[in-house]
Amino acid sequence: MSSTVNKIGVLTSGGDAPGMNAAIRAVVRQSIYKGKKVMGIRRGYAGLLEEEMYEMDSHDVSDIIQKGGTILQTARCLEFKEHEVNERAAKICAKHGIDGLVVIGGDGSFRGATELAKNGLNTIGVPGTIDLDIACTEYTIGFDTAVNTAIQAIDKIRDTSTSHERCSIVEVMGRGAGYIALWCGIANGAEDVLLPERYDYDEQKLVDHIIEGRKKGKQHHIIINAEGIGHSTSLAKRIEAATGIETRATILGYMQRGGSPTAKDRVYASTMGARAVDLLCEGKTNRVVGYRHGQIVDFDIIEALGMEKRIDPYFVETSLSLNSR
């Protein structure tokens, strides 16, 4: 493995997240600042295998820090799990003179990055996912924007829910993780939050809670349901049948992945993207950048992938204690 890099590639992989453009911009500008060449690779690992890449200059990333999505586009590429394919990808990078690669994505994308590192390419991961489900870091790019988008939508659902005295189930994204749901639960003051990490499938408890709230004069009942539990529409039907209260389900879906990134997402994306380049310039490889205890940090990718992330029990307790009156 080379101890220093000359040409840095950058790609986005997995689900897009607001702030990915700010991270791309940071990688490009920091690389140029450090005197390196930089190549943008389109469509994640799929584009890398198709050699869809171009040299980027500072101007290519002008006017993107405020934009959602990813200008490099993203993809899921199942064949990247195959050893021969990783080997081919590393050879393609070598052919184009790319000796360092910044991968902006989630855990799956980091697994791809570590395979490339095994094949001699210097790789650094930057956590980009709305799901906040990466254990080594307290922050992932896109989470803040997604939660802000979701809470605004839920506020609107609450207005109509109150007018019609309905119960509303709102399903938010997060794959197997309940972070978006939990944050929305607290931020929206939802009556119930269903988290994959904690769900006990006790629907009678939910039903009792709704009836109890109605008796106390509550005009709505908002249940935030995490995607990892899902089945919001059928749950709504069962709740309506059991409570006699009109119940509607709304699945927020992909709107949570779009939109202009918040200040927080822009700032973390910028600092993490720059740190990824710094690490490559210091001769580091197979690392993932993170944010912990107020600092930008980095970990060995294998070590990071082995870490376990636990939802904060105090957040869960608070979502219950503040919202169930």
Instruction: Single out the catalytic residue among 131, 144, 192, 298.
Output: 131
- Shortest distance in whole angstroms from residue 261 CB to ligand ADP: 17
Strand order in the sheet with 100-105: 53-55, 37-41, 7-12, 100-105, 122-127, 287-292, 295-300
Which one of 19, 112, 178, 213 is in contact with ligand ADP (CB under 6 A)? 112
Tabulate helix, strand, coil % of the chain (nearest 5). Answer: 45, 20, 35
* Residue 51 φ/ψ region, left for φ over 0, alpha for ψ in the -120 to 50 degree band, beta for the rest: left
| CB atoms inside a 10 Å sphere around CB 129 | 27
Which one of 70, 109, 114, 129 is in contact with ligand F6P (CB under 6 A)? 129
265 is catalytic: no
- Partner whose binding site includes residue 173, from ligand ADP, ligand F6P, none (CB under 5 to 8 Å by kind): ligand F6P
* Cα torsion through 274, 276, 277, 278, rounded to 10: 90
- Partner whose binding site includes residue 109, from ligand F6P, ligand ADP, none (CB under 5 to 8 Å by kind): ligand ADP
127 vs 12: CA distance, rounded Å: 10
218 vs 211: CA distance, rounded Å: 9
Of residues 134 through 173, those in contact with ligand F6P by CB under 6 A are 173
Closest CB to ligand F6P belongs to which residue?
15
Which one of 9, 100, 105, 259 is in contact with ligand ADP (CB under 6 A)? 105
Of the candidates 245, 207, 252, 206, the one whose C-alpha atom is nearest the C-alpha of residue 226 is 252
Of residues 70 through 89, those in contact with ligand ADP by CB under 6 A are 76-78, 80-81
Residue 115 or 171: the one with the smaller Cβ distance to ligand ADP is 115
152 vs 150: CA distance, rounded Å: 5
Of residues 22 through 81, those in contact with ligand F6P by CB under 6 A are none
Decide the pairing of beta strands 37-41 and 122-127: unpaired
- Partner whose binding site includes residue 77, from ligand ADP, ligand F6P, none (CB under 5 to 8 Å by kind): ligand ADP
Of the candidates 125, 62, 107, the one whose C-alpha atom is nearest the C-alpha of residue 275 is 125
Residue 80 or 139: the one with the smaller Cβ distance to ligand ADP is 80
Q: Could you write out the DSSP letters of every residue in 156-215?
A: HHHHHHHHTT-EEEEEE--TT--HHHHHHHHHHT-SEEE-TTT----HHHHHHHHHHHHH
- Partner whose binding site includes residue 107, from ligand ADP, ligand F6P, none (CB under 5 to 8 Å by kind): ligand ADP
Residue 54 bridge partners (DSSP): 40
- Shortest distance in whole angstroms from residue 227 CB to ligand F6P: 5
- Shortest distance in whole angstroms from residue 264 CB to ligand F6P: 18
* Cα torsion through 57, 59, 64, 66, rounded to 10: 120
Which one of 14, 100, 127, 290 is in contact with ligand ADP (CB under 6 A)? 14
- Partner whose binding site includes residue 174, from ligand F6P, ligand ADP, none (CB under 5 to 8 Å by kind): ligand F6P
The answer to whether residue 98 forms part of the interface with ligand F6P (CB under 6 A) is: no
Using only the alpha carbons of the chain, give its radius of gyration: 22
Chain contacts with ligand ADP (rule: CB under 6 A) = 13-15, 45, 76-78, 80-81, 105-109, 111-112, 115, 129
Catalytic residue list: 131
Chain contacts with ligand F6P (rule: CB under 6 A) = 15, 106, 129-131, 173-175, 227, 257
